[in-house]
Every structure is written in structure tokens, then in C-alpha cells.
Structure 1
Amino acid sequence: MSALVEPSPSAPTHRRTEAPVARAPDAAKSWSSLSVVEDIAALAEDWRALEDRALMTPYQAYGWVRPFAETVGAAERMAFRHAVLRDAGGAALAILPLVITRRSGIRFAEFIGGKHANYHMGIYDPAFAASLDAAGARLMLAEIGAAIGGLDAFIFVNQPTQWQGVPNPLAQLAGGPSPSGAYKLSLVPGDGEGSLRRSMSSHAHKKLKNKRNRFVTYGPSEIVRARTPAEIARVIDAFLRQKAARFAMMGIADPFAPPAVRRFLERGAQAEGDRPPVLELYSLDVAGQSVATYVGAVQAGRFSGMATSFAMDSE
């Protein structure tokens, strides 16, 4: 399991890849067919089957993308295009969940999630991803662009350079380092102190201990994970309230204010059948009051921090 705590060689880079409208470089084609599907529900079986073995981040999990599409996406009337590459037997080799956007009359394709998703990456069969070099990635984009039709460019930001040791195919294309690094840390069950020692200097560890000791003077404190509908509602209430106060102080628009964002958080934090929630919500409670929250996306034993909030009136 990994969390975002220490510098990682998988740090994302900002990518802007022009859609090849004339012809892509010659490349060996490692897929048999490609289609573009607008309705995510029609892809549920294929998506889940690929997900069980895929290289992917939590932000492209079916349980993350579908609630986002049906809440935030629906409210903002987003135009979704899910590109699916298949082998000769019809099995999905890759899915790229894309949204069509326009700026200054230019039509782009980007990964779904926007600023709510810290990683923008396709969902790949591991062997397929390993076989896809830069020329193959350009050919893939050329076919996707042709299948969607009318695109001027792809915009791919926050691309991990690699995932689980396998290079990210799209990160091989034109781009540069992100101004914000990504971080990871392997967690060892029952060894919280060891994880802290591996992730920070002794000075930082000492400061953290001092802060933890100060909590005793404020009253009983605990970290609570929201599991029931009532707990989920309480943590979301605190998260949105704390975010609203923070953005108001900064004098900028609150991206979490639209009601659709709350609906997305509520849906993502609830289990779907026998599948666990794709979002985990935590609250730091002091004397029974939430003074901070943490929202994370989870998939296949990995936890990725999405957002945090702090009560502005807390010390």
C-alpha cells in the first residue's frame, strides 16, 4: 500500500500533446480494434474486468469516474468520450476516460476529473503498457482523435512518469516536469513510527511529536474514519465548511461549493455491492469537534490523498 509522503520517481509531469490530424509516425500496432463510447454504464463489465489486473491510479477506477460523471459531470454538462482498445479476442487492453473541453474556440480532449484528480492516466493492461513505445502511443492518439472527430489537441497534465515500475505510455510524449512533485511511501502494517522515520527528517519527526503531545491540553482527540451515512455526512459537512472559510479568506471562488461536488463525495464514500468505497473520509476530532479532514481515493491497496481541510478558528 502506498500513500503520498516521500519524493517519488513517479512524480507527475505536465503534458500537452497535439492531436495528430494528418498521420502518426509508423509504429507497430498492438491492438486489434478501437472504439469510443459515450455511456460509461455500457462499459461497466469491461472496465471492471480490466481494472482487476490493470496499471491505473485510483482516479480512473470505475467507482471514481462514474459517480463523478453522474454528479459533477452531469451538472456541468460535460461531454465524455471513453476510448477503448481491444485485442483480437475482444478483451479490453486500455481505456482512456476522456472529456471534451473548449477554450477560445479550440476543442480539446482531457482526462476526466480535472483538478479533483491528482493523477491523470489511462487504464492499461500491464503487458500492453510495457509494449507501447512513443511511436505506438502517438499512433494510439491518432486513432482516438480520428474516432472522436473534430479534435484540435489532447491536453494531458499530471501524468505519472511510471506506475508500479512500468513507464506511462503517454508520459513518453512531449512535455516537461510539473511544478508540484508527487510523493509515495510504502506502509508497513503496525509500524506507524517506522513509516514516519522513513518519510521525514529526525527534526521534522520531533516537531510532529511535540504537536501531538500538545493535543492533550485541548482535550480528547482521535482520528475517525466515516463509514456510516451519518458519519459520512458529518465529515463532508466539516470538509465543506472548512473549505468555504479557507477560500473566503483567500478571496477566491470555492471549487467545492457546487452541490454536485457534495453528491460526488457522498456516492464515492459508500460501498457499491461487495466493492469497497473508492473514497475514504477522515476527521481529526478534538473534544468531539472536527478540526481537520482528509479525503483520499483508494484502489488496489493504494491510498492517494485528494484533499484536506482545516478549521480556521482552531489553534
Structure 2
Amino acid sequence: MTAAAGARPSPVAISMDVFSSMEPLEQEWRALERDDYCSLHQSYDWCHAWVQTHNSPLAILRGQSGGRTVCILPLEISRRTIVRKASFIAAPFSNINTGLFDTAFRHSIGAETTRALRQQITSALTHHADLLHLSNIPLLWRNQRHPLAGLPAVENQNHAFQLPLFDDFQATIAQLNAKRRRKKFRNQQRKLNEHGGFDHIVAESTDEKTRLLALFFEQKAVRFADLGLPDVFHATETQAFFHHLQHSPREGQNAALELHAIRLKGDYSGKISAIAGLSRKGDHVICQFGSIDASLVPEASSGELLFWLMIERCCAQGARVFDFGIGDQSYKRGWCPVETVHHDIVLPITPIGHIAANAQRLLTRTKSVIKTNPRLYACLQKIRAKGIKPSQSNDTDD
């Protein structure tokens, strides 16, 4: 129950323990993730696919109060030089992170409970990590303040972009320049029809999903090479992670990964000109990735056409948010009237963690400065194109 307006929530007694594997928590985990507030990136299936394909040690925090589980923070430990960092599982490919919190507990959190959470998290991680770094958290999401908003945080260099959806697709695009959008869509259809037409397909069979995902990796590699950027999908374990995801069980409309594509007919019969991967949890749809084959009718902008068709389908299926994910790109601004600010929670655990926390905050702020300065950003891209290996990230502009 939400506290009455103006009332200060009573402090909640909480204890925290640590797990090195996911399986003992599965039942509690799946119960918490049913809350639509909680990001699908902290869902059991998403995290399990990553753990199955990566070897990082886990330090999963479970918070309990009054004998019931009220929160789970799915963390993995990475080491850089001498610093052990605890981050959300699969953070390099997460567009929005929330952790998992019981609904009533979320609404009961006040300043004293936040202090207790900080103390319990620090104590639980003392022998596992030097630094807690929880990235891409919207401190305000679905008109609710995040339960960890009171912890030390820095604004992330990347924002996320969303399109609110309505049952009526025409009402959805009315938020944009609808007349221009419709004209562009008709032109895209006409240009593809001049070559024999197209189909919007959604992969159903195991073979079709496997082939389409493999083709996405091929298309994306070519695209990155053309742009002089490193291929963040190149690693074998990264590709294995997405293959695991697409075979996760569906529950109603919910899907860990659903593959959409434009398949051409006529002159280019059977060729795939655009691919996108969508995830859905509740009424929230996230576009995880997309690719195009620039050699196939490039004047038709198949990638943009595919977005139109996917969004139209999501409206008909009752979704309420189409999330284009993190990273500021012109096509996202063209589709999205909503821009969401993300923050990183940076909490030192040990003395060396205090030094690492200051360095992490400085790094994040430096990235923000670079990304808002076109000359600096262009220079960085040239350096990266010469072969300096980046850290993995789902933001190809990061």
C-alpha cells in the first residue's frame, strides 16, 4: 500500500544474504519479476541465458523482511586490475535496469530504509566486491521513484528513448509528425513493391530463429566495419547468449527475444533486408537490436519500414511502451517523444572501492562531455576504428 501523501514511511527491517548460483532462488525470483515495474533484464530467463554462456562468479543479493523475500539484486563479479566490481548480470547488453523489488516494499521505502539497505548491501558484498556499479537505472520509472534512488549515483552518459503506444495505431503516430510518417511509409512500400514486394515475418520455428539470428550477426558485422566501429556482437559467448535467449519459453505475449524481419519477394526473392530483435514483458516492448543489408533496395529504408510494422503490431497486441533503448541516435528521436534519463549507482564497498568509485564517476562524466562535443566524439570514433578494443556495450555509439 502506498504511503499517504505527506506521510513519512516507517523504516523497514531488512536482512541481506548472498547466493553464488541462481537456481536456489528461482521460485522467489519469478514471483518478484511479475511486477511490471521490474525490468525484463533482471528476469530469471534473461539472467540465466547470460550465466549459461559466461563464466563470471555470481553474488546475488536477496533481501528479506518479516520472513519474506522483498528484493533480489542479480549481480556478477568482474575484476579489472585489482578492483572487484559487482554489476547487474548481463549489464553490457541491458537497456534498462531496475533490480527486483516486492511491490509493497517498494512503496514503503523511506530514507531510513534506504540507509539500512545501503548498510546491508555493503556488509553482504564485503568479501565479494570492492565496488557496486549498477548501470542504466531510471531513478523515476513508470511515475515511481526507484527504491535505490537514495544511494550515491551519477547520471549515465546515455539516455533512453520511448514511444507511448495506444490501441489505435493512428493515435500512436499522431504523437509524431503523422502526415510525414504516413507519406514516408507509403514511399517505402512503393519502392519495395517496384521490385516485387515484401513480407513482414516473425521467426517461429527453431531453424528459422537460428538462421535469422546468424544473419543478423553477419549484417551487423558488415555495418560496423563500414562505420569503422568495433563489432560488439563478435564474441562467441555474446552470440551464444542471444541464441539461448531466443529459445526461452514464452508466457502469453511475453518474450525474452522475438525476431522480426523484412523478407523480399520478386527481384530479391527470399533475401532479408532488415532484422530486429524485440523483447516484451507485460506492456513494455524493448528493441534490443537491429540490422540492415544496405545492398538491398537501400532507397526503401527497410529498417524504418520494419519499425513501422512492428510498432503497429505492438499496438494491436495491447503493448503500451515501445522502447528504442539507450543511445542517442537521430532515428530514435524521430520516433520517440519521451526521453528517459538513466543513472548509475556507484557504491564503494572497501577502501580501494572508494578510489574506484571516484574513478568510475569521473569516467562517466568524461564520456558525457565527449558525447556532447561533436569534435571530440568524432576523434574518439577514429581512434576506435584503428583497432583499440572497447568494453562490450549494447550502445554502438558508446
1:228 is matched with: 205
Say whether residues 1:47 and 2:34 are aligned partners: no
Q: What's the offset of the Cα at 1:85? A: 0.8
Say whether residues 1:152 and 2:152 are aligned partners: no
What are the Cα deviations for residues 222-275 of structure 1, in whole angstroms up to 9, with x where unaligned? Answer: 221112101101210221111111222233432212222232222212243867
Distance across 2 between alignment mates of 1:82 and 1:53 = 19
Q: What's the offset of the Cα at 1:159? A: 0.7
* Counterpart AA for 2:17: S
Q: What's the offset of the Cα at 1:67? A: 0.9
1:300 is matched with: 282
Coordinate RMSD, CA, aligned: 2.4
Summarize the Cα distance change of 1:177–1:212 in structure 2 as closer, same or farther, 3 Å threshold: farther
Of 33-42 and 204-213, deviating more is 204-213
Say whether residues 1:61 and 2:43 are aligned partners: yes
Summarize the Cα distance change of 1:205–1:158 in structure 2 as closer, same or farther, 3 Å threshold: farther
3-state SS in 2 of match to 1:303 = strand
1:175 to 128, 144, 153: 153
Distance across 2 between alignment mates of 1:54 and 1:31 = 25
Matches for 1:143-292 after TM superposition, within 5 Å: 143-150=120-127, 151-189=129-167, 191-200=168-177, 202-272=179-249, 277-287=255-265, 288-292=270-274
Q: Is the 8 A contact 1:97 1:112 kept in 2?
A: yes
1:11 is matched with: none
Q: Is the 8 A contact 1:270 1:277 kept in 2?
A: no
2:69 is matched with: 92
Distance across 2 between alignment mates of 1:51 and 1:305 = 20
What are the Cα deviations for residues 79-131 of structure 1, in whole angstroms up to 9, with x where unaligned? Answer: 21111111213x22111111112234222211111221111221111221122
Distance across 1 between alignment mates of 2:134 and 2:177 = 31
Give the number of the structure whose residues are more often helix, by fraction: 2
1:311 is matched with: 293
Aligned residue pairs, count = 283
Q: What's the offset of the Cα at 1:153? A: 2.1
Distance across 2 between alignment mates of 1:273 and 1:115 = 24
3-state SS in 1 of match to 2:204 = coil
Summarize the Cα distance change of 1:228–1:31 in structure 2 as closer, same or farther, 3 Å threshold: farther
3-state SS in 1 of match to 2:85 = strand
Distance across 2 between alignment mates of 1:44 and 1:122 = 15
Q: Is the 8 A contact 1:54 1:124 kept in 2?
A: no
What are the Cα deviations for residues 45-93 of structure 1, in whole angstroms up to 9, with x where unaligned? Answer: 111112223630111111111111111x2xxx2121111111213x221
Distance across 2 between alignment mates of 1:232 and 1:54 = 27
Of 49-58 and 283-292, deviating more is 49-58
Summarize the Cα distance change of 1:63–1:260 in structure 2 as closer, same or farther, 3 Å threshold: same
TM-score by length of 2: 0.65
Summarize the Cα distance change of 1:240–1:297 in structure 2 as closer, same or farther, 3 Å threshold: same
1:105 to 61, 82, 88: 82
Summarize the Cα distance change of 1:54–1:47 in structure 2 as closer, same or farther, 3 Å threshold: farther
Distance across 1 between alignment mates of 2:284 and 2:158 = 20
3-state SS in 1 of match to 2:272 = strand
* Counterpart AA for 1:302: H
Give the number of the structure whose residues are more often strand, by fraction: 1
Higher relative contact order, chain-length normalized (CA < 8 Å, sep 6+) = 1
1:80 to 51, 58, 64: 58
3-state SS in 2 of match to 1:171 = coil
Contiguous gaps of at least 5 residues in structure 1: 1-26
% same residue? 25
Q: Is the 8 A contact 2:11 2:110 kept in 1?
A: no
What are the Cα deviations for residues 206-226 of structure 1, in whole angstroms up to 9, with x where unaligned? Answer: 334433332222322122111
Contiguous gaps of at least 5 residues in structure 2: 1-8, 299-398
Distance across 1 between alignment mates of 2:185 and 2:139 = 31
Q: Is the 8 A contact 2:70 2:101 kept in 1?
A: yes
Q: Structure 1: which 4+ aligned runs deviate by more than 6 Å?
A: none
